[in-house]
């Protein structure tokens, strides 16, 4: 058996190799030509199954879960649950669990399907810094990723049926989510990362649609505050996604990937990252001026402002996408996102504990 095989897109075997459906071996793509055209050709290295026995279950699964991005999904749910508790709104425990498991399954389904699409269109071969290694390295067969995505979609739907029966208004949020998911994520030949408005759709899905939809699913009503929180959070998420796009701007530009950062270019893209961060912080301030006492959030603003001021040197020194400062820039501005979110979580947790103690006493 040949160690390498080159397959043309016109071949009947192309899909089979790309999805890793070859029995007894793993087909790992090592070189691509004329990607996403009718002349596309991919060279696969055929590896024996025994070569993957040393790969642990954790090495395969943990990267697929994208724990570094789990905060996108977890925080809106955490916010809704805490704010509901603080306002003494009655929520049935079973309904809360069903809602949480349903949206978790949906989150996993969308992420796995995005990984599958990124692999099929070659995005993970272009953007190696942000690729999902278990798929691109053949540790997990691509068609298995698709199957698990379908399974989680089905589980989310089944668990969501009782919630719709209990609170029919939840269908509105589900309809919005469905439109966004199909438009930004599930198009077979296009990733949400490869078109300009895809990132915005992903941010809206994780922002107002998730927060409002989850609140509707647990007690059948929502508040303006929850919607505005979702909008603020969508800007924070959009900032983080654009920072990731900026990290791979060189590779994306060469591959002619059209997202917001490649459209702006390096210099304007760098400025855009700063604008998005400052906007996130200002929206955070405005939201809390309306809905919280200043003692709960002023420390967050001060600490984030101090770290932003410290990052100014990195911002000024970054002059090229291939310079050594790129990694430092991405790290510093990623830390700002993590810092804001963790401090926000801390303030909410404090309010939760105060309310809990008050109820006990």
Q: What is the pLDDT of residues 170-182, one digit of tens each?
A: 988 888 888 877 7
Which tokens hold the place of 291?
């809905």
Q: Under 8 Å CB-to-CB from 172, ≥6 apart: which residues?
A: 216
User: DSSP secondary-structure letter at 39?
Assistant: T
Place of tokens 């919607």: 227
User: What whole-number distance in Å separates Cα of residue 310 and Cα of residue 361?
Assistant: 44
Contact 343, 299 (CB under 8 A): yes
What is the Cα 327 distance to its own chain's centre? 20
pLDDT tens-digit readout, 110-151: 888 888 888 887 777 777 666 567 888 888 898 999 999 999
Two tokens, residue 310 = 């410290």
Q: What is the pTM of this model?
A: 0.88
> Torsion angle, CA of 209/211/215/217, rounded to 10 degrees?
50
- List, for residues 289-341, the tens digit of each pLDDT value: 888 877 778 888 889 999 998 888 888 888 888 888 888 899 999 999 999 99
């Amino acid at each position: 058996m040949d160690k390498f095989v080159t397959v043309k897109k016109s071949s009947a075997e192309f899909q089979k190799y790309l999805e890793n459906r070859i029995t007894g071996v793993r087909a790992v793509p090592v070189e691509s030509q004329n990607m996403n055209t009718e002349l596309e050709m991919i060279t696969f290295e055929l590896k024996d199954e025994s070569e993957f026995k040393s790969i642990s279950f954790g090495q395969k699964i943990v990267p697929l879960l994208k724990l570094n991005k789990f905060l996108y999904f977890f925080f809106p749910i955490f916010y809704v649950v805490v704010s509901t508790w603080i306002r003494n709104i009655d929520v049935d425990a079973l309904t809360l669990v069903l809602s949480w498991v349903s949206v978790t399954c949906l989150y996993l389904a969308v992420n796995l399907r995005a990984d599958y699409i990124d692999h099929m269109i070659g995005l993970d071969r272009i953007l190696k810094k942000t690729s999902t290694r278990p798929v691109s390295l053949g540790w997990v067969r691509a068609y298995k990723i698709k199957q698990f995505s379908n399974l989680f979609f089905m589980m989310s739907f089944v668990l969501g049926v009782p919630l719709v029966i209990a609170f029919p208004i939840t269908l509105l949020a589900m309809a919005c989510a469905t439109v966004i998911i199909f438009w930004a994520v599930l198009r077979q030949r296009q990733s949400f990362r490869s078109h300009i408005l895809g990132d915005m759709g992903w941010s809206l899905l994780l922002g107002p649609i998730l927060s409002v939809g989850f609140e509707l699913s647990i007690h059948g009503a929502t508040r303006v505050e929850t919607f505005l929180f979702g909008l603020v959070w969508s800007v924070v998420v959009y900032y983080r996604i654009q920072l990731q796009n900026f990290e791979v701007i060189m590779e994306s530009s060469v591959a002619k990937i059209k997202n917001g950062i490649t459209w702006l270019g390096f210099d304007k893209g760098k400025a855009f990252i700063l604008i998005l961060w400052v906007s996130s912080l200002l929206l955070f301030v405005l939201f809390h001026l309306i809905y919280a006492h200043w003692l709960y959030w002023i420390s967050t603003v001060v600490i984030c402002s101090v770290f932003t001021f410290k990052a100014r040197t990195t911002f000024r020194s970054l002059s090229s996408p291939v310079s050594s400062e790129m990694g430092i820039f991405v790290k510093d501005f990623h830390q700002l996102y993590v810092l804001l979110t963790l401090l926000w979580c801390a303030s909410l947790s404090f309010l939760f504990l105060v309310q809990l103690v008050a109820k006990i006493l």
